[in-house]
Amino acid sequence: MAKVAVIIDNMFEDVEYNDPAEAFQREGHDLIHVGLKAGKEVTGKKKATKVRIDESVREVSPDQYDALLIPGGYSPDKLRADEDAVAFTRKFLASGKPIFSICHGPQLLISADRIKGRRLTGWKSIVQDIKNAGALYEDKQVIVDGNMISSRQPSDIPAFIKAALDCLD
């Protein structure tokens, strides 16, 4: 089964973490929470979900994982301000391993500066950011572009999970 890194910080969108995480675990995949400080507890936007960071982004490599999940909310914006989080994401993009991003998740991909010419989707407020990064924005539930799977919003989660699980099989 796959070892999935979840890059996450405070104010993540609870449902965009919870639903994929539960689906991945139900299928036998392992989740490792990667963030700015190992041992820190981060909280979702709705304050209902608490996640303990397993590994510091400064001390890990994409080589340790089979896939990367980037939940939306404000978490990607917080992470994109950290050079180590951006470097980790950039290396993950270069690895060719699966990357799953939803809603505001593409903000971290944009900052990694490796999405020019790629197809993806995201939350409506970052459409212009996606285009400015040189990516091809598509307004669809789920976009699969090689190793990169993206969705727009919470209502897309079922299609997002299906595409991600198909990629992990």
pLDDT of residue 43: 97
Q: What is the DSSP track for 48-72?
A: --EEE--EEGGG--GGG-SEEEE--
pLDDT of residue 50: 97
Does residue 81 contact residue 52 with C-beta atoms inside 8 Å?
no
Has this prediction a pTM greater than 0.95? yes
- Residue 160: closest CA among 102, 73, 115: 102
- Catalytic annotation on 103? yes
pLDDT tens-place string over residues 42-81? 999 998 899 999 999 999 999 999 999 999 999 999 999 9
Does residue 76 contact residue 142 with C-beta atoms inside 8 Å?
no
pLDDT(169) > 90: no
- Point out the catalytic residue in the list 2, 103, 110, 157: 103
Alpha helical stretches, state H, the chain: 14-26, 75-79, 83-95, 106-112, 127-132, 157-168
pLDDT(19) > 90: yes
Q: How far apart are CA 38 and CA 53, in angstroms?
A: 5
Q: Where are the domains of the chain?
A: 3-168
Mean pLDDT over 90-95 rounds to 96
pLDDT tens-place string over residues 102-149? 999 999 999 999 999 999 999 999 999 999 999 999 999 999 999 999
Fold for 3-168, please state it.
Rossmann fold (3.40.50)
HSE-CB for 142 with a 13 A CA cutoff: 21
